[in-house]
Homo-oligomer: A and B are copies of this chain.
Amino acid sequence: MSEHVYKIVQLVGSSPDSMEDAVQRALARASRTIRNLRWFEVVETRGQVKGGSVAHWQVTLKVGFTLDEDEATDT
């Protein structure tokens, strides 16, 4: 981290397979509209249960990215 300003958004990724995959899906989706994703932090891990086993892993993330010169911060 240098003298940049960063913004942090909160996302929930979801996957039938694993916690890691739920994180990757959230990051993949975010990277379609956010440039310069830098780091994430896992905030919460939950899941849906069906028939006695995990139907979806749901991982809530804080994701940080560099604000470019022309990027809005109000979102």
Contact = CB atoms under 8 A, between A and B. Distances in A.
Interface string A29-41: 1111110011111
A9 to B, nearest CB: 7
Q: For this complex, into which size category does the number of interface residues on chain A fall?
A: 35 or more
Question: In the assembly, how many copies of this chain are there?
Answer: 12
A20 B47 CA distance: 11
Given A6-B12, A24-B54, A45 B48 contact: no
A40 B47 contact: yes
Contacts of A56: 1-3
Contact of A6 (B3, B7, B11): B11
Contacts of A34: 73-74
